[in-house]
Structure 1
């Protein structure tokens, strides 16, 4: 048995090897204490509470450009109705939806809660909405 190399990973906890690293095994005089680390970051309850609330709807760069070019405004009332429409679409499992608010149509990625583009009533006449799975009238 002299050819077997010493492997410290095979020594049970609470036991240490002899001074030569092999052969004689003796018990440790002090117990092994796990290191205690203080948790960092937010508490799980805080994260759960934050994810339970709805994330606000944001506008992509493209959508902001379309709003400016088409001279469309989004007031707080319109924004709240858009948010409610996206919430309703998400509740039904929609992924991509058109949310109609008054005379504006917003194409929204529901999973990302991001407005992809916006269209006013003048542009809606000749506009075809593709790659959507839902429509919401808010």
Structure 2
């Protein structure tokens, strides 16, 4: 098997079932299961990333099932570094099909938008775009 296809298969998320059923069956906000996962996600993001994620951004990552693996966080950190070097304060960082709005001064991700939510989205209060 071609190594490129094999690598793509390894990194492609597998989704089963119907999205509306998952939304209907997901734990209510504030339940023990939901908050435990949220805490674990926040802890993992802090450990592996120089950038931090706002509460809103963490909720969007969970809600939109955005991949925040180590290699993606490394690319995001590189994008924040590039934005800082160019003097940007609130850039939109585009990585593959995901958009991150970042506050460079605080090194904090403000919000995250995935491919399904990008269409028709208007980003305001940004001063530049970085593509990584």
Give me the TM-score of the superposition, normalised by structure 1: 0.59
Question: How far off is 1:84 after superposition?
Answer: 0.2
Return the TM-score normalized by structure 2: 0.62
Moved over 2 A (4+): none
Matches within 5 A, 1:1-138: 56-138=50-132
Deviations 1:20-75 (A, max 9, x none): xxxxxxxxxxxxxxxxxxxxxxxxxxxxxxxxxxx911100100001111111201
SS of equivalent to 2:62: helix
Superposition RMSD in Å: 1.1
How many residue pairs end up in the alignment? 84
Once the two structures are superposed, what CA deviation does each residue of 1:71-121 show, in whole Å capped at 9, x if it has no partner? 112011110000000000000111001101111100000111100000001
More strand by share: 1
Gap regions ≥5 residues in structure 1: 1-54
